[in-house]
């Protein structure tokens, strides 16, 4: 298997410091924003649940049990459940972005080691 100049160029680009800094900064900012937003949605869920006379665990239980089509529910409860779902989705996205960040970092370090090995064997 031959290593071409375009492969070495791609390795240099993906393992460059500026590429790593930009990618890590953007993903870290996205993770922070998602976690802060999830915390605010949990707080809003708690407040809406309190207005409906429920605790956060009651709202979570209602969400797990599901809502029947024939039931009549408070709008506050429905909004609390919606905020709970949004917060859980945001936490899941933050975890996925964290995994992507970890994979990107490990791939970048691996590419740097491969590039170093190639350059050492050329000389």
End-to-end alpha-carbon separation of the chain, Å?
19
The whole-chain average pLDDT of the chain stands at: 90
- Number of Cα atoms under 13 Å in the Cβ half of residue 90: 19
User: What pLDDT, on the 0 to 100 scale, is given for residue 1?
Assistant: 62
> How much is the pLDDT for 113?
86
Q: Flag whether pLDDT at 39 surpasses 80.
A: yes
| pLDDT confidence of residue 16 | 81
Reply yes or no on whether the pLDDT at 111 is more than 90: no
How would DSSP label each residue in 22-76? HHHHHHHHHHHHHHHHHHHHHHHHHHHHHHTT--HHHHHHHHHH---TT----HH
Place of tokens 């990618």: 23
Cα 55 from chain centre: 27
pLDDT given for residue 89 in this prediction: 98
Q: What is the tens place of the pLDDT at every residue in 56-72?
A: 999 999 999 988 878 88
Domain boundaries, the chain: 18-122
- Answer whether residue 4 shows pLDDT above 80: no
- pLDDT the model gives residue 14: 78
Question: Does an H or E element contain 123, and which?
Answer: none
pLDDT tens digits along 69-96: 788 888 899 999 999 999 999 999 999 9
Share of the chain above pLDDT 70, in %: 98
Q: What phi, psi does 52 have (nearest 5°)?
A: -85, 0
């Amino acid at each position: 298997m031959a290593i071409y100049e375009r492969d070495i160029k791609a390795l240099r680009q993906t393992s460059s410091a500026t590429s790593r800094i930009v990618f890590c900064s953007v993903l870290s900012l996205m993770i922070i924003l998602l976690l802060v937003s999830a915390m605010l949605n949990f707080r809003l869920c708690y407040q809406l649940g309190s207005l409906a006379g429920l605790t956060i665990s009651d709202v979570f239980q209602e969400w797990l049990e599901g809502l029947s089509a024939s039931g009549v529910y408070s709008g506050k409860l429905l909004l609390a459940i919606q905020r709970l779902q949004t917060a859980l989705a945001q936490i899941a996205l933050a975890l996925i972005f964290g995994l992507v960040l970890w994979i990107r970092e490990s791939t970048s370090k691996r590419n740097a080691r491969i590039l170093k090995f190639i350059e050492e064997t050329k000389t």
